[in-house]
Amino acid sequence: MSDDVQLAPHRFAGLVAPVVDRVFVAGILAGRDGGGAELSQRYGGPAATSFLLEFRTRLAVPGGTVDPAGFAAVNRYRDPATCQRALDKHVAYGMLHRRPGGFLSATERGHVFLAELHQVHGEVTEELWAGHDDRVVRLVEAFGRLLAYALVEAEEAAEGPGDAFAVMAPPHEPEGTPPGVLLLNRLGTLRYHRADAYAAAWTAAGHTASTVTELPPGPERRAIELETDRRAAGPYAALAADERLGVLADLAALPG
């Protein structure tokens, strides 16, 4: 069987992306509906917690910080002034510190919130993916390899802190992290690798974050998507062709 039939990395990158999105979003929504929304309200609501949720695996690290360039990369499609006003609210609620140079870190209160959020995600993913334990374990292992490959690839390419993946990887995985949380956060982190690939593709095509969001379906958008697949393909070389098919099948079988 040819590698094309078995899904070459660039072809696999395009096929797996929407499946990764579906599984990740299902986990995040389950967390919101399974106690995350109530947890957020106890700490001030989205105005106080939304960036902690987004940067949870970096800010939960003891001493973990988010640099300004990384923050901008993760929020590249949002209005910078609006983001800064939202940050001001997080600081005012006592959830984030704004440190010299614009670096962000979680306060003690922020760390307590993140620990509780970690627990919520453990409970809801266990329920959401109940009966799929073997499948979850296989995916955790596979996406661990993919992230390790992507991190080495990023170091060799000398990618800087302006990349979303650089600020989000590797995910924080304290001892005892449940398999469902490992999978949720590994999927989420690898999504930023593709987000950077997409940004590089539309930048090379002469677009900005604003203009690319307005680009209608057609040959130009398709060309950007194919270039995104090419740039995002690297980590998938860490899997044998049959393993790529297995990952796709396992993800497709997960509820959510």
pLDDT of 7 above 90: no
Residue 4 domain flag: no
Of residues 164 and 1, the one with the higher pLDDT is 164
What mean pLDDT is predicted for residues 92-98? Answer: 98
Residue 56 domain flag: yes
Residue 67 domain flag: yes
pLDDT of residue 161: 39
Full-model pTM: 0.94
In the DSSP assignment, the letter for residue 8 is -
Peptide bond into 178 cis (omega under 30): no
Count CA atoms within 13 Å of residue 105 on its CB side.
11
The answer to whether 87 and 98 have CB atoms below 8 angstroms apart is yes
Written as one letter, the residue type at 234 is G
Residue 2 domain flag: no
Residue 84 domain flag: yes
Q: At what angle do helices 179-204 and 133-156 cross, to 10 degrees?
A: 40
How do residues 135-160 score in pLDDT, each as one tens digit? 999 999 999 999 999 999 888 776 54
Of residues 157 and 66, the one with the higher pLDDT is 66
Name the residue with tokens 């800064």. Answer: 84
pLDDT of residue 231: 95
Residue 48 domain flag: yes
How do residues 202-255 score in pLDDT, each as one tens digit? 999 999 999 999 999 999 999 999 999 999 999 999 999 999 999 999 999 999
Q: What is the dihedral of CA 248, 249, 253, 256, to 10 degrees?
A: 10
Number of domains in the chain: 1
| Average pLDDT value for the chain | 94
Instruction: Look up the domain containing 219 and give its range.
Output: 9-253
Residue 64 domain flag: yes
Who's near 68: CB < 8 A, 6+ residues apart? 101, 102, 103
Q: Residues 149-158: contacts with CB within 8 Å, 24+ apart?
A: 149/234, 149/235, 149/237, 149/238, 150/190, 150/193, 150/234, 150/235, 153/234, 153/235
Residue 24 domain flag: yes
